[in-house]
Structure 1
C-alpha cells in the first residue's frame, strides 16, 4: 500500500510544494472541451457548452471573474435560448467553487454525480507499495498494434471510443504525447487507461477494465504503471477526478481526497435566470 505523504511538507526549491490548495488549484486547471460525437458545441459570452438530446452541458466558463451564481444563471438562460430543457453544471474547484446551496435549491438543481478530487505525491518507492498479482501487467502503447488494443478494450469497457482517440486535443500533454496504457491478464488485453502531463502533474484519466476481469488487480496495475511513467517524465503528483466506483480503490492505495466535483442538473424552465 502507498503511504500517503504530508502534502504540505517542504520540498526542494525547484519542485512544487503540494499543499491542499495547490492540489485543488491543479484540479481547477484541468479543463476539457471534449464533447460527444453528434452533439452540438457552442460558446456564448465565454460560456462553453455542448448539447445533446435536449440537455446542455456547461463545459467551461472562460470569461472575466464573475460571481458563480451569475455564471450559472447565464448558463441556464443560454441553454434555454438553445432549446435545452436542462443544463448540467459541475461545481468544484474553479469558477463555481463557492456556488451556494441556497441558489441551487431555488433553481431546482438535482445532484446526478459526485466526482472525488484525489491526489498522491509520487515517491521513489511507490512500485514496492502496491501488491500486484503475477499474471497482471500493463504496457505503454508504442505502436499501431498497441493502439488498436487500447481502442478495442476502451470501447468494450466504456461502450464508446475513448475521447483521446476521437479528439487528440482533449488530452493535451506538455510534450504532445499522452501516455496510453493497455493492461493484460495472462497476456490477454483486458484494461486500458491514459494520462497527460501538465507541469509536474500526471493527470490520470479514462481507466476501464472489462467486467469479467474486474476485482483482479487490473485497475491497480493501470494506476501504478501510469504513475511510474509520469514520474520518469518529471511528474511529482498524480491527480485523478475519480468516479465513486474507483475512488475507494484509489484511497485504499494511498490517494488522498482533496475535494469533490459535484455534477447537478438544473431545469431551464422555472429556474433563476
Structure 2
C-alpha cells in the first residue's frame, strides 16, 4: 500500500502525441474498460464492467473514471474512488497496454486524478499497487506504508 499527498502530485497531465485523456461513465465505455483489462492481464476481467456500472449508477459523485485513447483505442484506464467524510481517495484499476508503457501515460493518469482530488478537497491518495506500478508511484512521490497479500478463497465443495 502506497500513500501520496494529492497536492504534491497534482499537475496538468502530460501525454504523448496522439493520446487524449477523457472522463467516462457511459456503459459502452465501461464495458470497453473491462475488455481492455482482460486483454492486458490475460484473464477474464468482464466483472469490472458490472462493478463500474454499478458504482456509477449508485453514487456517480464517488467515482471518477479516466481513459487514455490513441486512435480510438484505450491505451490506459484508471479510476478513483472517493469516500465522503475522509481525506482519502483510492486510485484503482491503472492498466496500460504493453506497447504504450514507458511513455508517461500512467504518470499522466496519476497527475490528473491527483488534480481532481485536490479540486474536490481530498488530501491523500492511496494505492494498493502491483509490483509493476509501485516503482512508478514511488518515483512520483508516493510512500510505501505497508504491504498487502491478496488471497482468493474457494470454499470446499
The TM-score normalised by the length of structure 1 is 0.46
Aligned to 2:2: 118
Shift of 1:156: 1.6
Structure 2 counterpart SS, 1:215 = coil
Is the Cα–Cα contact under 8 Å of residues 23 and 65 in structure 2 kept in the other structure?
A: yes
**Within the alignment, does 1:153 sit opposite 2:40 as a pair?**
no
Aligned to 2:148: 261
The TM-score normalised by the length of structure 2 is 0.75
- Map Cα deviations across residues 183-222 of structure 1 (whole Å, 9 max, x no partner): 1235532111112101321101111111222222221122
**Residues in 2 aligned to 1:161 and 1:207: alpha-carbon distance in whole angstroms:** 13
Aligned to 1:189: 74
- Map Cα deviations across residues 69-99 of structure 1 (whole Å, 9 max, x no partner): xxxxxxxxxxxxxxxxxxxxxxxxxxxxxxx
- Map Cα deviations across residues 113-159 of structure 1 (whole Å, 9 max, x no partner): xxxx111111177215x754344332110334433432332222233
Aligned Cα root-mean-square deviation (Å):
3.2
Q: Which consecutive unaligned segments of at least 5 residues does structure 1 have?
A: 1-116, 266-273
Structure 2 counterpart SS, 1:160 = coil
Is the Cα–Cα contact under 8 Å of residues 150 and 181 in structure 1 kept in the other structure?
A: no
Alignment of 1:39-54 (within 5 A): none
Alignment of 1:145-224 (within 5 A): 145-158=28-41, 159-161=43-45, 163-167=47-51, 175-177=59-61, 178-185=63-70, 187-198=72-83, 199-224=86-111
**Residues in 1 aligned to 2:19 and 2:77: alpha-carbon distance in whole angstroms:** 13
- Relative contact order (alpha carbons < 8 A, sep ≥ 6): 1 or 2 greater? 2
Q: Which consecutive unaligned segments of at least 5 residues does structure 2 have?
A: 153-157
Shift of 1:244: 0.9
